Copies of this chain bind each other. A is one copy, B any other.
């Protein structure tokens, strides 16, 4: 399977849906939402949901609205994390961040609007006709949990708490598991549970997502240390300057790379009972760890 081609194809489908649901506007809140949504995101979370639903024989079309909502959520988290009161980042993916473009007030409201619209997209009756409302309810609840105080927000709280002092390995894993892995795990899980899956399959894909999510954050930390500026879209070493908790800071580059590779091997191992319809999930896992080093 040509995983780069698969990722490109699915990105096109997700981009088209995002473009379709978001009104076009020259300025105002929709322009700000569109700016951040189309600032170069790879659509990893929606694509994981789609690949997971394919792995269990589900219909990618049926879950496209829910999958796209995951990108709205991811984008909201970036817009708010970048704010001056939070990480105070001026650039992301080579472009000025939302508050640099539109001001702090609009950036706060843009994040709020992206998060709110995600829940609208997940539940819009027209766009979710093929799904069982009871399972969809479970998905909305699980997504909310994954990005709430026991998930992504909890991770961001811990991350801000630790800036300036060195967390233990356990604390660092806690931060990464919550801040990044929870939504990535739940994205894969969402695709699986909305497909025609068995409980065993759902559990396997949840395990896969958990490990892929953690590996993804470790690779991100490594790239922040060693990446070239042009490729990264931001100044390398930014995390270190902020004295942020990262894997390379705690374990060094080599051990971090090894940890990521072991996690990816283990993630692919979770899929051993799946047939070739899970090849995209396998390819995505390997692509994450291969992508830039």
Contacts and interface: CB of A to CB of B under 8 A. Distances in A.
8 contacts: A29-B154, A85-B104, A117-B148, A117-B149, A119-B140, A119-B144, A123-B140, A133-B133
A30 B148 CA distance: 11
Contact of A148 (B80, B106, B116, B134): B116
Interface in A121-135: 122-125, 128, 133-134
Contact of A153 (B83, B116, B147, B148): B116
B113 A85 contact: no
B147 A116 contact: yes
Nearest to A22: B149
B108 A83 contact: yes
Interface string A93-127: 00000000001111011011101110110111100
Contact of A149 (B108, B113, B128, B133): B113
Contacts of A113: 148-149, 153
Given A120-B148, A125-B141, A137-B136, A86 B115 contact: no
A157 B120 contact: no
Interface of A: 28-30, 33, 80, 83, 85-86, 103-106, 108-109, 111-113, 115-117, 119-120, 122-125, 128, 133-134, 136-138, 140-141, 144-145, 147-149, 153-154, 156-157, 160
Contacts of A80: 108-109, 112
A30 B108 contact: no
Instruction: Count the copies.
Output: 2
A85 B105 contact: yes
Contacts of A103: 85
Contacts of A33: 149
Contacts of A148: 113, 116-117, 120
Contacts of A117: 144, 148-149
Q: Which of A33, A106, A149 gathers most chain B CB within 10 Å?
A: A149
A141 to B, nearest CB: 4
Contact of A105 (B86, B112, B138): B86
